[in-house]
Amino acid sequence: MPHLRVEYSPGLEAKTSIQAMCDALHAAMDATGVFPLAGIRVKAHRCAQVCVADRHPDNHFVALELSVGAGRAKAVLSGAGEAVFAAAKTALAPLLAHPHFMLSMEIREIDPELSWKANAIHDRLRAQS
Protein backbone atom coordinates (compact mmCIF):
# COMPACT_ATOMS: atom_id res chain seq x y z
CA MET A 1 0.00 0.00 0.00
CA PRO A 2 -0.23 2.98 -1.17
CA HIS A 3 -2.51 2.71 -4.13
CA LEU A 4 -3.39 5.76 -6.21
CA ARG A 5 -6.59 5.28 -8.18
CA VAL A 6 -6.95 7.75 -11.03
CA GLU A 7 -10.41 8.11 -12.52
CA TYR A 8 -10.74 10.27 -15.59
CA SER A 9 -13.42 11.38 -18.01
CA PRO A 10 -13.90 9.78 -21.41
CA GLY A 11 -11.96 11.41 -24.21
CA LEU A 12 -9.24 12.77 -21.97
CA GLU A 13 -6.71 10.53 -23.72
CA ALA A 14 -7.00 12.82 -26.76
CA LYS A 15 -6.02 15.83 -24.64
CA THR A 16 -3.15 14.47 -22.50
CA SER A 17 -0.94 11.43 -22.04
CA ILE A 18 -2.50 9.29 -19.33
CA GLN A 19 0.69 7.20 -19.10
CA ALA A 20 2.88 10.29 -18.66
CA MET A 21 0.56 11.49 -15.89
CA CYS A 22 0.76 8.06 -14.19
CA ASP A 23 4.56 8.10 -14.48
CA ALA A 24 4.73 11.57 -12.90
CA LEU A 25 2.41 10.55 -10.07
CA HIS A 26 4.42 7.37 -9.40
CA ALA A 27 7.68 9.35 -9.32
CA ALA A 28 6.15 11.88 -6.92
CA MET A 29 4.91 9.15 -4.59
CA ASP A 30 8.34 7.51 -4.58
CA ALA A 31 10.14 10.83 -4.06
CA THR A 32 8.19 11.57 -0.87
CA GLY A 33 10.09 8.83 0.94
CA VAL A 34 6.86 8.09 2.79
CA PHE A 35 5.75 5.06 0.82
CA PRO A 36 7.60 1.78 0.17
CA LEU A 37 8.42 1.46 -3.52
CA ALA A 38 7.19 -2.14 -3.62
CA GLY A 39 3.73 -1.04 -2.52
CA ILE A 40 3.23 1.89 -4.86
CA ARG A 41 0.55 1.38 -7.49
CA VAL A 42 -0.88 4.01 -9.81
CA LYS A 43 -3.98 2.71 -11.57
CA ALA A 44 -5.83 4.79 -14.16
CA HIS A 45 -9.45 4.03 -14.97
CA ARG A 46 -11.39 5.69 -17.76
CA CYS A 47 -15.00 6.28 -16.75
CA ALA A 48 -17.35 4.99 -19.43
CA GLN A 49 -20.23 7.36 -18.74
CA VAL A 50 -20.14 10.64 -16.84
CA CYS A 51 -22.14 13.77 -16.18
CA VAL A 52 -19.77 16.60 -15.31
CA ALA A 53 -20.92 19.90 -13.79
CA ASP A 54 -23.16 21.68 -16.34
CA ARG A 55 -22.78 18.78 -18.79
CA HIS A 56 -20.83 20.94 -21.23
CA PRO A 57 -19.29 18.54 -23.77
CA ASP A 58 -15.80 20.01 -23.19
CA ASN A 59 -15.87 19.29 -19.43
CA HIS A 60 -13.25 16.82 -18.22
CA PHE A 61 -11.91 15.66 -14.87
CA VAL A 62 -9.24 13.66 -13.11
CA ALA A 63 -10.07 12.39 -9.63
CA LEU A 64 -7.27 10.94 -7.51
CA GLU A 65 -7.90 8.68 -4.53
CA LEU A 66 -4.81 7.70 -2.55
CA SER A 67 -5.41 4.73 -0.26
CA VAL A 68 -2.73 4.24 2.40
CA GLY A 69 -2.15 1.94 5.32
CA ALA A 70 -2.95 3.34 8.75
CA GLY A 71 -0.30 4.55 11.16
CA ARG A 72 1.30 7.61 9.58
CA ALA A 73 0.99 11.03 11.19
CA LYS A 74 -1.51 13.35 9.56
CA ALA A 75 1.23 15.90 8.87
CA VAL A 76 3.29 13.26 7.05
CA LEU A 77 0.31 12.24 4.89
CA SER A 78 -0.56 15.87 4.26
CA GLY A 79 2.96 16.61 3.03
CA ALA A 80 2.96 13.55 0.80
CA GLY A 81 -0.48 14.48 -0.51
CA GLU A 82 0.69 18.01 -1.32
CA ALA A 83 3.64 16.58 -3.26
CA VAL A 84 1.51 14.15 -5.25
CA PHE A 85 -1.14 16.80 -5.96
CA ALA A 86 1.57 19.24 -7.11
CA ALA A 87 2.85 16.58 -9.53
CA ALA A 88 -0.69 16.08 -10.84
CA LYS A 89 -1.11 19.83 -11.34
CA THR A 90 2.18 20.00 -13.22
CA ALA A 91 1.35 17.00 -15.42
CA LEU A 92 -2.09 18.40 -16.18
CA ALA A 93 -1.16 22.10 -16.37
CA PRO A 94 -2.35 22.57 -19.97
CA LEU A 95 -5.78 21.22 -19.03
CA LEU A 96 -5.97 23.31 -15.85
CA ALA A 97 -5.45 26.40 -18.00
CA HIS A 98 -8.92 25.84 -19.53
CA PRO A 99 -12.29 26.52 -17.88
CA HIS A 100 -13.61 23.00 -18.53
CA PHE A 101 -11.31 20.87 -16.35
CA MET A 102 -11.33 19.84 -12.72
CA LEU A 103 -8.76 17.98 -10.65
CA SER A 104 -9.34 16.53 -7.20
CA MET A 105 -7.52 14.31 -4.72
CA GLU A 106 -8.25 12.69 -1.40
CA ILE A 107 -6.33 10.40 0.92
CA ARG A 108 -8.02 7.63 2.82
CA GLU A 109 -6.51 5.38 5.45
CA ILE A 110 -7.23 1.67 5.33
CA ASP A 111 -8.11 -0.07 8.58
CA PRO A 112 -5.38 -2.73 9.03
CA GLU A 113 -7.87 -5.19 10.51
CA LEU A 114 -9.90 -4.98 7.30
CA SER A 115 -7.06 -5.21 4.79
CA TRP A 116 -5.30 -8.29 3.42
CA LYS A 117 -2.14 -8.30 1.30
CA ALA A 118 0.26 -10.71 -0.36
CA ASN A 119 3.17 -8.99 -2.10
CA ALA A 120 6.23 -10.88 -3.28
CA ILE A 121 7.63 -7.69 -4.83
CA HIS A 122 8.68 -6.45 -1.37
CA ASP A 123 10.98 -9.47 -0.93
CA ARG A 124 12.41 -9.14 -4.43
CA LEU A 125 13.25 -5.44 -3.97
CA ARG A 126 14.77 -6.05 -0.52
CA ALA A 127 16.98 -8.78 -2.01
CA GLN A 128 18.18 -6.40 -4.73
CA SER A 129 19.21 -3.75 -2.18
Where in the sequence numbering do the catalytic residues fall?
Answer: 2
Strand pairing report for 41-46 and 3-8: parallel
Rounded-to-integer distance, Cα 57 and Cα 126, Å: 48
Beta bridge partners of 19: none
Q: Where are the beta strands (DSSP E) in 16-100?
A: 41-46, 60-69
Beta bridge partners of 7: 45, 63
